[in-house]
């Protein structure tokens, strides 16, 4: 599709909506604008799962503290760029 055959509205739409979403990392920027990053969302899932296990008595207080500290450490590493999102998810699934 040639851009010269598009109306000015269509060209503007492509520039504002379609083309930026194809850039690498665009989903990360949008997630940050929306509030939570993908890293933060993944951490919330893990924390919620741990909290549920703690309330049900599946893990004791010392294990709870160990696993939450480990999850926070992984989250901080990912925010610094030392871990990718895929590595973060893999590590969270292992623990």
| 24 and 63 part of one domain | no
pLDDT: which is higher, 46 or 85: 46
Residue with tokens 């895929």: 86
| 28 and 2 part of one domain | yes
Question: What is the tally of structural domains in the chain?
Answer: 2
Does the structure show a pLDDT above 90 at 89?
Answer: no
What is the arithmetic mean of pLDDT over 65-69?
94
| 28 and 60 part of one domain | no
Q: Which two tokens stand for residue 5?
A: 């055959």
Q: What is the pLDDT of residues 24-54, one digit of tens each?
A: 566 666 655 655 678 888 999 999 999 999 9
Q: Residue 41 belongs to what domain range? A: 36-95
Alpha carbon distances (Å) from 76 to 24, 84, 85:
22, 11, 12
Kindly indicate the confidence band of residue 3, based on its pLDDT and cuts at 50, 70 and 90. Answer: very low
| 84 and 52 part of one domain | yes
| 45 and 60 part of one domain | yes
Question: What sign does the dihedral 34-38-40-41 (CA atoms) show?
Answer: positive
Q: Which two tokens stand for residue 84?
A: 């990718």
Helix (H), strand (E) counts: the chain: 6, 0
What is the arithmetic mean of pLDDT over 5-31?
62
| 24 and 40 part of one domain | no
């Amino acid at each position: 599709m040639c851009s010269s055959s598009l109306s000015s509205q269509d060209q503007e739409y492509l520039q504002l909506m379609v083309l930026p979403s194809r850039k690498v990392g665009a989903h990360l920027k949008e997630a940050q604008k929306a509030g939570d990053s993908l890293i933060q969302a993944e951490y919330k899932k893990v924390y919620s799962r741990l909290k549920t296990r703690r309330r049900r008595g599946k893990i004791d207080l010392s294990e709870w503290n160990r696993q939450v500290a480990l999850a926070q450490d992984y989250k901080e590493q990912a925010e610094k760029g030392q871990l990718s999102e895929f590595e973060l998810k893999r590590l969270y699934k292992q623990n």
